Amino acid sequence: MLRSLKVKDYMTRDPLSFSPQMEVLKAVHQLLTHHLSGAPVVDEAGKVVGFLSEKDCLKAALNATYYEEFGGQVSQFMSSPAITIDVESTLTDAAEMFVSKAHRCYPVMDDGRLVGQLSRHNTLAALERLW
């Protein structure tokens, strides 16, 4: 049953994203405001070039604590390359990725274009509906 469910039907559309040049403190604020654990980083051409997670933001906070250097650009702290999932993937594929990797969410791609984001929460909500 899970194999018939597609990522496109459970993802969050119009995901929050950051530019590599954005100030990391502003990105942290947006993650907190939107209650997200991370968001993709997209260049001027719309290509996903990285992912900024809560863990990456904690690195920025530690950097500020240790070196008394507050802030910096998202590109200094993001993880790259971003691990993504295809819009046509099944929720079984997504669940396997969530179990095998530490990531809490993935950018969803359609023909190289960012179209959404899928979180562990989205996936569990879909499973709950099945049960």
Q: How many domains does the chain have?
A: 1
Number of Cβ within 10 Å of residue 3's Cβ equals 9
Please, which residues bridge with residue 12 across strands?
117
Provide the pLDDT confidence category of residue 2 given band limits of 50, 70 and 90. low
The CATH code of the domain that includes 87 is 3.10.580.10
Average pLDDT over residues 50-62: 92
8-55 pLDDT, tens digit per residue, is: 999 999 889 999 999 999 999 999 999 999 999 999 988 999 999 999
**Residue with structure tokens 């604020």?**
29
Backbone angles phi, psi at 59, to 5 degrees: -60, -40
Q: Please indicate whether residue 83 or residue 1 has the higher confidence score (pLDDT).
A: 83
Quote the tokens at residue 75.
């590109």
Domain extent for 124: 2-129
Asked if residue 24 lies in contact with residue 78, where contact means CB atoms within 8 angstroms, the answer is no
Asked if residue 41 lies in contact with residue 75, where contact means CB atoms within 8 angstroms, the answer is yes
